[in-house]
A = this chain, B = another copy of it.
Amino acid sequence: MPNESSAPRRRGAVRTEALLQVTLDLAAEVGYAGLSIEAIARRAEVGKHTVYRRWPTKAALLLDALQRVWTRDLDYRPTGDLHADLREQFLRSVSALTSPPLDPVYRAVIAEAQSDPAARAALHERFLRTVEQSTLEQVTRAQRAGQLRADVDLTFAAEVLCGTLYYRHLLTPHPVDETAIDGLLDMFMAAYGAS
């Protein structure tokens, strides 16, 4: 009896997915400017209320849309070489963050977050902290493996690593290229590299 209910499939789940996809499409095509709820609803051929029913705020919608593309790139496999692994992870992140679907949405979220502390908290909780966390795990592993000094708490170091890259990407006109990443890692290793 192959019952079809293994996925409960709440009523509008499909539509929710569609709306998020439309948001990404729109972002890729018209960029940050075209990301109005009105435009999204229009493009999705959906009443505005159908959007508002799902997300109380544009920021909330954008965060979910972000999630949708975000999770796809988290399948990296550490090799054990800390420097190489961090380098790889950062390059991947930056590459994703720079290309069309993600970049406009991310910037839109940043913009929204400036006027809405709640959105700011959500942004950090769901994305920035995640990146910090995965970075922290990597360096902690390296620390246990003796590659880093054992007498320091690396939590803040992880924030510095990530924060520097986000700062450069979002707030400066400079690109986050290999030079920048290497410079950052050099400083990190100089500070915390074992003996």
The 7 sampled A-B contact pairs (Cβ below 8 Å) are A110-B114, A110-B171, A114-B170, A120-B173, A124-B173, A156-B180, A160-B184
Which residues of A88-122 have CB atoms within 8 Å of chain B's CB atoms? Answer: 107-108, 110-115, 117, 120-121
Count of chain A residues with a beta carbon within 8 Å of a chain B beta carbon: 42
Interface readout for A12-38 with B: 1 if CB under 8 Å, 0 if not? 000000000000000000011100000
Among all A-B residue pairs, the 3 with the closest Cβ atoms: A163-B167, A191-B191, A107-B114
CB distance from A32 to the nearest CB of B (A): 5
**A164 contacts chain B at the CB level, 8 A cutoff:** yes
Copies of this polypeptide in the complex: 4
Interface readout for A158-192 with B: 1 if CB under 8 Å, 0 if not? 01101110111011111000001001100110111
Interface residues of A (CB under 8 A from B): 31-33, 107-108, 110-115, 117, 120-121, 123-124, 128-129, 152, 156-157, 159-160, 162-164, 166-168, 170-174, 180, 183-184, 187-188, 190-192
Q: How many angstroms from the CA of A120 to the CA of B103 in the assembled complex?
A: 14
CB distance from A41 to the nearest CB of B (A): 17
Q: Are A115 and B163 in contact (CB under 8 A)?
A: no
